[in-house]
Structure 1
Amino acid sequence: MATDIKDVTHAVDAAAVMALLRGRPRLLALGEPTHGEDALLDVRNELFRQLVEQEGYRTITIESDCMRGLLVDDYVTTGAGTLDQVMEQGFSHGWGASAANRALVRWMRTFNDGRPAADRLRFAGFDGPLEITGAESPREALTALHGYLSARVDTDLLDATCTLDTLDRLLGPDDRWTNPAAMTDPSRSVGQSADATELRLLADDLVALLDAQGPHLIATSSPDDGDRARLYGRTATGLLRYHYWMADTSPSRMTRLVSLRDRMMADNLLAVAGADADAAAVGAVDPAAPVDRAPVLVHAHNGHLQRNKSTMRMGGLPVEWWSAGAIVSAQLGEEYAFLATALGTIRHKGVDSPPRDTVEGLLYAGPEGCSVIDARGLAAALGDSPPAPRVSPWFGYAPLAPAHLADIEGIVFVKDV
């Protein structure tokens, strides 16, 4: 057994990772089993650097607000703003305080300095403007989409859909959308009010106008402007849908919310990969045509990237949903690849050495501090008797599920954090 595991274990580098893949995926997803550990982000940063320099990767997208991520992308591509401003305003979930994320942004800006636009690195957030405590107002996305259209579409045609004053009146104060009490009390949500219902219809009409005017908009917009307009449309409709279900009182409310979040993530990932239906609708990309975009590294929690159903407990009840990775994998097939990260210890969180009869325990017995393992080869080596699932004493760490090994291209194992 030890020899078999050693045979499928390699140092973590771009060449070893690419050797695990059946082809050249549009999206290479690297998951993490816990958030907030810069040691894991350092591994991500080094792998991305090697993928850029050796494999032609040009984009990284992470589990952060897609709208805020535009500020980061502007900085790394053009130098707009300052590093401090970007770290403070360009990330959600507190990721801007991470030294490893700061190092990533600084390195991307340095790499891009003096390069032609076509060869520059790009950054994207692929999460919605959502937090565990609630969701943002749809104002920014709706008004940005309206502004894009107003600069390019006949005024009478746009005004027949809605005016900016109409949007402002229906949106009202932003704090009624961002009330954190709405996450636990549906009656505090504005999502099923008459104003929100009308906004959902108007947002749908604005996106329809964006699609219908596709030939003209492509001719009068840069590709980046067109991509951002579709991002505004996806985000506006997604947020309004999310707010609607925040006001729901049925037992399926939380399942709906976590499913909608990952659906928004999946739509953004497909767009970054150049395979989104929105872009195809306006003629910007043919999903069936050969891919001319450089491949993308995706980084998020394992639970958002795995092909199997994701599970968690919320309010003492189990919740199951299809992750963004599962949705994207179903559409892209082998053009989506997933590496799951597993850990040996996080002693400062009370996660000590793993039991020897778990996957983590078997890998922890090896000498390597950080390694990449052929997951399917490991599954074959383990045979018909998979190891026991590991149980974490800390809620913030999600151990690897042994039953999922056959659905993972590789495991990045970090022995001690």
Structure 2
Amino acid sequence: MTAAINDAAQVVDAAAVMGLLPTRPRLLALGEPTHGEDLLLEVRNDVFRQLVEEAGYRTITIESDCMRGLVVDDYVTSGAGTLDEVMQRGFSHPEIGLGTSAANRELVRWMRAYNDGRPESERVRFAGFDGPLEISGAESPRDALTALHAYLTARVDSGLLPCTAETLDLLLGADERWTDPAAMTDPSRSVGRTPEATRLRLLAGDLVALLDTQLPHLVAVSSPDDWDRARMYGRTATGLLRYHFWLADTSPGRLAQLLGVRASMMAANLLAAAERGPALVYAHNGHLQRNRSGMEMSGLPLQWWSAGAIVGAQLGEEYAFLATALGTIRHRGVDTPPPDTVEGLLYALPEDRYVVDTRRLDAALGGATPVPRVSPWFGYAPLDPAHMTGHDGIVFVKDALPR
């Protein structure tokens, strides 16, 4: 069986990845089974560089705040700011070190160098596709709402606007009310269902509606980047207000609703990236898989449709997903995988890294389903063997060594 499994595995490069797919998808996603391992990000960098240079991909989007991502995009496309400033201001999720990662820094440096001197049509763009959300809660909708209002104020008759900037400021109040981390576990601490928040949801909807009703005019008087950003401001403002609404909920479905809102915000940003042209995506496997995602939080089993499932349902073959699987993370207590798991079968192969054809791997197993691996560390999610054939491929890394 080992020989048959070996036949399903190839060297990790762009040609091997594209060889798994019937056509070049508009969204090509690569997942990771854990956050914070720079070796995995180095593998991502190598493959994404090749896919930009050889397959014509022109956007790289990762699991980071879409608003902060504008800082990175400005730098890689025009050189605005410095690399140090961009790494500090352009990434969210400090708990997993996105902005301090050496591999992320190298990706941004390479993108800037690649774009230097190239015409605009050939430049590679950067985007965050997560909402302004952290594990401990959500940001205030202020930045997105005020940016959308300012965009419209500069381009449409003031009589069409549902409110003034001063009204928004008054309703928003202090940002600390929105960002209180206690609201994640105590709904009574959330402002998401106050009269002010309820009115803000209506006003945000009216502002977004103006983007539709005034579309011919707005497209004519806006640069493509300004128009794309305005729509992103609208998605983000309405998504954040919806997220805060569910933070204030007290029903048993509260946490599942929050996960679903986040996934919906991610999916909308990914679909927007796909509209701009072929895009590469990087995030946790759980956000990108086509199957329903699940986890346990606060002692409750939760299920929701991930961003990848939502996008895959809309794009079909224009969406492709490769999951990354790991053999060991010994510094986290994740040792050699059992031989009857997917990771154990691949760990027995001689090389350190592979791209694996899941259809050929399934054929080599004769239809038998490997045993699910159990992780001793909460931060690592092994592959679910029942979902394996729903992936377009697997990137396998034998040992994640600390950098």
TM-score range, shorter chain: over 0.9
Partner in structure 2 of residue 89 of structure 1: 89
* 1:320 equivalenced with 2:320 (yes/no): no
Q: Give how far 1:383 is off.
A: 2.3
Unpaired segments ≥5 residues, structure 1: 275-292
State percent identity of aligned pairs.
Answer: 74
Residue 369 of structure 2: which of 379, 386, 405 is its match? 386
Question: Does 2:180 correspond to 1:151?
Answer: no
Give the distance between the partners of 1:136 and 1:375, measured in 2 at CA.
39
Aligned length: 397
Matches within 5 A, 1:167-178: 167-178=168-179
- Counterpart secondary structure, 2:99: helix
Moved >2 Å (runs of 4+): none
Which one-letter code corresponds to 2:370 in the other structure?
Answer: P
Q: Which residue in the other structure is 1:260 paired with?
A: 261
1:42-191 matches, cutoff 5 A? 42-94=42-94, 95-158=98-161, 161-191=162-192
Partners of 1:34 and 1:2 in 2: CA distance: 27
User: What secondary structure, in the 3-state scheme, does the structure 1 residue paired with 2:179 have?
Assistant: coil
* Letter matched to residue 414 of structure 1: V
Report the alpha carbon displacement of residue 146 of structure 1 after superposing the two structures with TM. Answer: 0.3
Q: Pairwise CA RMSD of aligned residues?
A: 0.7
Q: Could you tell me how far apart the structure 2 residues matched to 1:157 and 1:316 are? A: 48
TM-score by length of 1: 0.94
Partner amino acid for 2:243? Answer: Y
How many Å apart are 1:294 and its aligned residue? 3.8
Alignment match of 2:338 (pick from 355, 378, 382)? 355
Q: In the alignment, what sits opposite 1:307?
A: 290
Contact 1:31 1:341 in 2 (8 A): yes
In the alignment, which of 323, 344, 349 is matched to residue 366 of structure 1?
349
Alignment gaps of 5+ in structure 2? none
Alpha-carbon distance, 1:53 to partner: 1.1
Q: Any residues of structure 2 matched to 1:211-360 within 5 Å, and which?
A: 211-274=212-275, 293-360=276-343
Contact 1:376-1:407 at 8 Å conserved across structures: no
For 1:27, give the aligned amino acid.
Answer: L
Deviations 1:306-325 (A, max 9, x none): 00010111011111100000
More displaced 10-residue stretch of structure 1: 65-74 or 368-377: 368-377
Q: Distance in 1 between matches of 2:99 and 2:365?
A: 40
Name the aligned partner's letter for residue 350 of structure 1: G
Please state how far the C-alpha of 1:380 moved relative to its aligned partner: 2.1
Which secondary structure state, in structure 2, belongs to the residue aligned with residue 412 of structure 1?
strand
* TM-score using structure 2 length: 0.98
**Superposed displacement of residue 170, structure 1:** 0.2
- Which residue number corresponds to residue 290 of structure 1? none
Cα pair 1:75 1:82 within 8 Å, conserved: yes
Letter paired with 1:118: S
